[in-house]
Amino acid sequence: MNKKIKASAALVAAAALAFGAFASTSATAATKTYTLAYQGPLTGGEASTGIDEQNGVKYAIKVFEAANPGYKINLVSVDDEGDPAVASKVAPGVGTNRKIIGLVGPAYSGATIASLPYYKAGNLTVISPSATRVSLTDPKSPTAKSDYGRPIFHRVVATDDKQGPALAKFATKGIASAKVFVFDDQSSYAVPLRGYVEAAIKKISGASVVGGGDSVINTTTDYSPTIAKIKSSGANVVIYTGYYSAAAIFVKQLRDSGSTAVFAGGDGVFNQEFAKLAGKSAEGARLTGVAGLADVDAKLEADFKAKIVDFGKVTFETNSVVGAVDDDRRSPEFSDTMEYMIVNPSWYVPRSIVVGEYLPMLQEDAASVEYLELRDDLGNVVGREGLDFTSFNEDTFPFGMRQPPSPGNALGLVKFMFPNRHNIYLHDTPAKNLFGREVRAFSHGCIRLADPFDFAYALLAAQRPRETDTC
């Protein structure tokens, strides 16, 4: 469903662009203005989902208009608050509006079910970035008679029969005897997802569903009865199949009760707002979803360029790749002085990447990422022979990692240093293919340059040797 939904922006954009392509092919010379709609929660507790997706649509429209001069795409935004009752009130106006050629959304499955009769009546093409209920596109699903959305409904997100097993597997990973308590928020999304999760748990060796689960409406503010059930069941894993705003309230109360059970949730919880609302209680949560949708609005004006500006005049610019939109990867905004550059640099892998990305790979295959050296605290290279990587975790892994200089080095052949507290710098990269993309937010925070050598020449051209310098 949702950073949720950590390329969902790309998926939303793809949906909007698909509508744009349809509009352009059907346009006449006399009429080049078309209207799309977006429907999702733009206010209320789930607003982060709708705002993120709406920003994705806006960005897609901007890209389409830039590539197709002469065409204008208007956007009508419809707030359903993520509530089926509200959706049934706003959908008729969209379905009967003959200016609207297509709709991105609804965001949530329940709102989708409530809206479909009106969109079918209006023969309106609908593409959802996040409604995951299986029956919306599966005629064999038990509820498909009332929920089935075809031929007008389409989506760009995996369904819950795929997410359920993945969530069950991830939630119980590394737990020898997983006793799992599963509960939902009574929504059209959460109830079936819970069923897929529980069915998958029963197929996992050593795992079991305990306590009979629970079903708690998402307006609940006191989860003590559910927490009492969790404790009495002896559960060491708790899976919630609802949405992030309620999940944040629950997990704070769960931790306040003293429970150390693993908390896990699906794409409805997989949202940047969950971490903000839950605070420290969100630490260690295991969440599933599709790749990152967050703060797309910040990209709307981004040109993904690195520029040299002399006295207010741009004297050089090159395409750049910046940090991904994840909270822990985006490039920070700061000002500092560039002091030097390094030719043929080594890449000393940041600790967060070592334990977050490479350690799991080493645990799967000790011979993986062989191009990276293991180094001890003294900087000595350590052989991998005899090391059991599965015996380490993020806190106990004792090694650093280094990639020696090479044509394939992650930093390329040159990096530009301006020491700062963020440890951010500019550098070359062997991954040249990314510079041709419209949106270039892929790095772990540092800035990659398409033309690093020309950038260096432009920087050095303005330098003058001091009188004491000799060549």
3-state secondary structure the chain: CCCCCCCHHHHHHHHHHHHHHHHHHHCCCCCCEEEEEEEECCCCCCHHHHHHHHHHHHHHHHHHHHHCCCCEEEEEEEECCCCHHHHHHHHHHHHCCCCEEEEECCCCHHHHHHHHHHHHHCCCEEEECCCCCHHHCCCCCCCHHHHCCCCCEEECCCCHHHHHHHHHHHHHCCCCCCEEEEEECCCCCHHHHHHHHHHHHCCCCCCEECCCCEECCCCCCCCHHHHHHHHHHCCCEEEECCCHHHHHHHHHHHHHCCCCCEEEECCCCCCHHHHHHHHHHHCCCEECCCCCCCCHHHHCCCCCEEEEEECCEEEEEEEEEEECCCCCCCCCCCCCCCCEEEECCCEECCHHHHHHHHHHHHHHCCCCCCCCEEECCCCCEECCCCCCHHHCCCCCCCCEEEECCCCCCCCCCEEEECCCCCCCCEECCCCHHHHHCCCCEEECCCEEECCHHHHHHHHHHCCCCCCCCCC
Residue that wins the pLDDT comparison between 15 and 388: 388
Give the tens place of pLDDT for each residue, 62-104.
888 888 888 899 999 999 999 999 999 999 999 999 999 999 9
Is the pLDDT assigned to residue 461 strictly greater than 90? no
Can you tell me the mean pLDDT for 307-336?
A: 81
pLDDT exceeds cutoff 80 at 417: yes
What's the mean pLDDT in 212-223?
95
Query: Mean pLDDT across the stretch 253-266?
Result: 96
**For residue 471, what are the contacts with CB-CB under 8 A and spacing of at least 6?**
465
pLDDT at 1: 40
Whether the per-residue pLDDT at 31 is higher than 80: the answer is no
Give the pLDDT band (50/70/90) at residue 466.
low
Q: How far apart are CA 90 and CA 453, in angstroms?
A: 55
Residue 312 pLDDT greater than 80, yes or no: no
Mean pLDDT over residues 337-360, rounded? 91
Measured distance CA(249)–CA(192) in Å, rounded:
22
Q: Which pLDDT belongs to residue 325?
A: 66
Cβ neighbours of 221 (radius 10 Å): 8
Cβ neighbours, 10 Å, residue 375: 16
Percent of the chain with pLDDT over 70: 87
- Mean pLDDT, the chain, integer: 86
Q: How far apart are CA 294 and CA 15, in angstroms?
A: 17
Lowest mean pLDDT among 308-317, 355-364, 429-438, 456-465: 456-465
Is 107 in contact with 131 (CB distance < 8 Å)?
Answer: yes
- Provide the residue type at 192 as one letter: P
The CA distance from 207 to 302, in Å, is 47
Mean pLDDT calculated for residue range 336-359: 91
Q: Sorting pLDDT into bands at 50, 70 and 90, what band is 135?
A: very high
The pLDDT of residue 27 is: 43
Give the torsion sign (CA, 124, 130, 136, 139).
positive
Residue 471 pLDDT exceeds 70: no
| pLDDT(347) > 70 | yes
List of domains in the chain: 8-157 (3.40.50.2300), 161-287 (3.40.50.2300), 299-460 (2.40.440)
Length of the chain: 471
- Strand 286-287 to 414-417 pairing: unpaired
pLDDT of residue 342: 93
pLDDT at 464: 58
- Provide the pLDDT for residue 462: 66
Count of Cβ atoms closer than 10 Å to residue 354 Cβ: 19
295 pLDDT band, cuts 50/70/90, is: very low
Note the pLDDT tens digit of each residue in 15-28. 444 444 444 444 44
Contact 268, 244 (CB under 8 A): yes
Read off the pLDDT of each residue in 50-62 and give the average, rounded to a whole number. Answer: 91
Reported pTM: 0.57
pLDDT tens per residue across span 142-182: 888 889 999 999 998 889 999 999 999 999 999 989 999 99
- Looking at residue 308, its pLDDT comes to 87
Q: Please state, in angstroms and rounded to a whole number, the distance separating the CA atoms of residues 159 and 112.
A: 14
Residue 289: predicted pLDDT: 81
Q: List, for residues 428-453, the tens digit of each pLDDT value.
A: 999 888 887 767 878 888 999 999 99
Lowest mean pLDDT among 202-216, 320-334, 390-404: 320-334
Q: What is the pLDDT of residue 324?
A: 78
Nearest to 49 by CA among 100, 111, 99: 111
pLDDT score recorded for residue 337 = 83
